[in-house]
Chains A and B, each alone.
Chain A
Amino acid sequence: MAPVYGLFWVLFFAARFLAKRRGKKETVYAVRPPIGRIALVIGMVLTGWSLFSLSDLREPMPRTLIVGLVALALGVAPALAVVVAVPLGLPRMAWALNRIGGGSGGVFELRSSAGLVAARAVLRRPSEHGARFIENYLATCPELGMSGAAATALIASLRGNREQALAIFGLLARMAHAHAFPPALDLSREYLAIDALRRRNWRLLVELGKGPGTFLTDLLGLVARRVLHTGDAPSATRLWHAWVFTPHRRMTWRIVVRAITAPAPAPPAPVAPSLSAYAALLARDPGSVRAEDVEVAVRSLDEIRSFRPWLAVIGQRRLALGIAASVEDIRAETMRAAEQGIAAAILEGGWRAKWIPVGVTGDAVRALVTEERLRLVEGLVAEMARRARERRDLPEPDEWRAWADARRVCDELRADSGSAFGLFEILFQPLTAYAARLTNVRGRRVLAGDIFRYLRDLAREAGAVYAYDLVDRNAKAVQAYRLPREALAEGDPIGSIDRIVKLRDQLVPNVTLFSLVTAGAAIGSVTFAISGAVPMMLGVLLLLWAMVEAVVRARIVECGHSVEGLVLQTHKGRFIAPFEELYGLKAGPGALVRIRLRRTPRWLPRFVITFARSHEDAQSHVARVQSLIRQKLPLALGTSAVVP
């Protein structure tokens, strides 16, 4: 009996250790059993044990071997989803395997990662039915996370909405922080790289190849450098070396051969008092434009500006056509049109404003580009702030798109010049209000976390000491690998967070685990041998854990009331129940507050409970909410900061 009992306590502590590691050094209350990892450990132990017994010519234990292999399969199910179901183009199978294995990634990716795997499978065998299945599944996730956002981008791409896909993948590719979800990051970079290859956007390929990426992005980055003949262009040997390690060699073979035999790009047209360099600039692929091309076009305009024969001919034609405007006016108008043309091309191609040389024309073009980018970013963030202020939320993929568009322009502005302080001044207030609402009200912590981190980096770059403390606190408060355990920052809290945390996230899980393991081990050791005890206890443990999770823990919520309704914070996510959706709200017995709702998302039961500090406290809260519903009095909301 002792070895059996000991084995289960080892597994128990291993499971707890793995669960705790998800939160790193931060305080994590909710303990979620990492089913896949537990199964993997059990499978390895039992399989190894069985094989050892067989090799030692002892009595074979086929039942143990079978159970071990099944547990092993369970543990590697997410990997099977990627290796088997995705290549076969079976979205439901990919989804099921991922879910059986407990998902992959951090706490916010566990559910939505199944959507990403399924979306990859749908791409192999495109079908609208599969796309709808994934969309319906993602709608049940409390939050999309990086993997859910990547899945929606893949579906958008499947439906031909390339712009949406590129925008979201562009944002995901920039979210390279310590807790990013690597599969989503790699997928984004590969998608962008392949799209850039199709459009011959060599400059983007060079950028993608610089950062940490996949074999494919590395290879394509080298190819782009070779095609552009940059100073650090790789040799043919280096290219073939990278090609060997890159998957899909048959497809990349031709790309590498073409890159090696590609001629050096033509030098830019010489600077001359004509607009031929301007025309050449516009005729090029936006992705292959170099800084020299922009420089020559701008300097050519400068040459024209001071070219006296040109002014003389304008004067002749003006007289011939009977135009009253002065030569100077006509010249200025023509030059202005050309400057606007270059500025528009720079904006369209996303080129750097610092490529523009200093000069009369260059300064004018740079001013136009910077002004337009500032106007664009002001408009985008003002729209986001307006929606936050008026509480007009969009579906989550559209929120991702809104931030992706704003961030793209912000990055262009940051790369242009050292105007980080000006940019921070524009972004700080509206983006903080927007992201605070995303976190406090809607529980979109991955997206809000990226916004706060961006603001923190910008504040550091701009030297905005007066705001750094706030943005740093916000960024830490929404770190995406932590569970949503902060106190509610919106409205008045009803529940006592200390009591709820102790009950829901400490007492219930610990008592459940302890009693299940002890009972299982005791029964198993008395009744069966190890081969019978292990599968029985594993099955019972998982079954009862799921029941406790669904019946008990999911119903214990933190609760607050704001102008929008009841804010319900579960251990999975946050939901705002409008007052008209409230079916019943009662206090008692004791400090208990019972809440019945008409409609809820799939992950939230319709009957939930919370705990106030006392019975009187519970009664007063209930009375206050009921009077609010009757009077419909709005409450003041604070949306300037996230309170950790």
Chain B
Amino acid sequence: VNDQTSPPLVGDRQRETSKPTRLGFLLFLFVAFAICTNPVAYVTGLPLSFAPFFYVLAARRWGFYQGLIAAIILTLPTVLWWDMGWFVGAAVCKYLFTQLCRRRGLLAAEAFAIFQLLIAPLFIVLCLWRFQASFSMLMLYALQYSLGEILLAAMADIASLNFTLMRPPPYISIKPSRSIDLIFRAMINFLIAFVLTLSVANQAMITANVARNERARMRAPVTAQVTAQVHAGHSSGRVQWENAKVYYDVSAADFTARAQRALGPECAWPLPLESDNAAGRYGTWIGRCETSVYEAADTKPILIAIVYGDVDEQHPVIGGHLLLLLVGGALALGYRLSLSRSLLSTIATCNDFIDRFGTLNLPMPPPLPIREVDRPLRAFVERNNIYAAAIDDRDRLMKAVVDLKRSVDLVLMGQIRFDERSGILSFNELRITMPPRPRQLQVHASDAASFLAMKDSDEAAIEFRTADGEDFQSRIITLHQHSSTMCWESGIMVKLSQPRRLRELMVQQARLVDLGGMASAISHEIKQPLFTIAVAAESMQLMLGKGRTPLADEQMAMRIARISEQVDRARQIIERISHYGRSDITQSTEVHVADVVRDAVSFLVAMLDDRRITVSVDIAAETDSILISRIALEQVIVNAIQNAADSVVARREAGWSGEGQIIVEVSAAGQKTRCAIKDNGIGLPPGMAESAFNAFFTTKTSHNGSGLGLFISRQIIVEAGGSIRLRPGKQHGAILEIDLPWHLPKI
């Protein structure tokens, strides 16, 4: 059975060389948090966090929950910047939405774009509810914020490509150094796009405001030089904002009036504006635009946008240039995204085929997004199919060999040696998947000469039997590569089972042996009618000599009738014998065991009488018919009764003088007919019950039995699907039990 397990075709596919660990995640979170405590850039007063980049990355690398934890922790600093906790909630929603979209095959950047499109109106509405602010300015905020987030997500997409590519052989993979290089390039690429996009967005806002002609409306009160006192949380000092222009959504007079009402009559420009934005940051020169909140006493806080004068003047030119750059950047971004999508899809297909390596009849791959990979992948599939077919052939061949081994006990051998003194054939049994096993066979003494005759032959084929004499089986061994006297390097051994025809002949022969054994009883039986006939004939002659009378005629007629009656009797005896000796009735028919038992007993009754043994037949119940050759079953029962009689005689020879008794019982056992032949003979020697069924087994003296009786009986019964066993009787003798399954009509 062990020979059937084939060696694994490919290495362990599941082994990962770089496994995401919990410690790795904690380290990642620590570094990411440090980065996220600072805004990546000021977007017209709105500081942007790096958090989306990190939490998308965490989800890709460590999984859903780690991504969620990262989303919450990394967006916490924005609460300090914006004083708005709902940004954390928004980030969690966005994260969940991204994960949902990922299942549908969307990139994080695409998911972010959809989410921002849905959430931006809400953002604007919330701001308008909280502040007095310009609608166009809020639109700009939303736009800037959304673009920034999408860009960060796209960066995470590119970076996470590396996780897809970091797989152990044989999958398509890249080296860690190459992976870092790719991340670096992607970040530079996107930083440029990021800065560019934000600048464009700022410019768009200014342009929008100008277009609304607010500039004209605002110009008069704010063209004065403005000096703002800045008290920022983490930087302090005085910053002179020269030529800055302040835009706000209320009229200057109204604003001043409100400011004076709130701060006192001395309050006038420059206003003490509170700003989170510190000058000198790169956000200041990217945007050239500041945002501040003026807390008025009796009204909502006012959101003020301050735009530097030079930007204001230059905006049409810068806007034109930036627009061109924006188009270029958008194209580059689109190309980059489509490239990563193609790459991912191609790699996934390739890895899928690598996964199915060794599968029989792999289908040809569909055309891949990256066409250059098509040819190598198709070549891979073709070769895989050839290889898998070969492996399949090998497996089938192995199975055939295993089957063959089982049926003819085929043994592939190595290091064969025959020891002429002990008659032991020793060799290593070669097995398909396991190491060779040393084995020994005791060769039958009469066959050892065959080995001796071939002791120096380079190649030899020898038929031999083993000493334990298993029935009629012999073995053929072919020996190759003679190494020294009686030693060969390799060989094959098969067990030869006995051909069916031979078995049939043997069964027939055994019946004839039975007949021979009963010759004396038969001859005695047939002499009786012959003697009666002779006497009757003599009487008739005497009658003829005495002359005819009517009474004499009647007597004559009686004699004639008697002669014919005795001839009939003799004929019956002869028929019974010739029937038993027939060889042509071998096909199975439906028979009732009880009928066969009666026939067998009537066949043997003369012999049994002769030996002064009584036989009784006990048919316990009506049983169904069984499918068997009638003559063969009769042979089994005749043999069983003969053995029983022999056993009784053997007991008598040992000094017993009781009455010999044989009982044949026929009963039903389940859906089987059980026939038990019991005797009160000498019984079974211990341990004989099983060996009695071996060929040439006999307890009798050589002239009295062939030793084939029970062996043949077992063959006949087993072929009919039944079973036969021998066991000791309760007090004396033995019981032979035969079970035969009923022949039930098919429904």
Partners in one complex: no
Residues of B that sit less than 8 Å from A by CB: none
Residues of A that sit less than 8 Å from B by CB: none
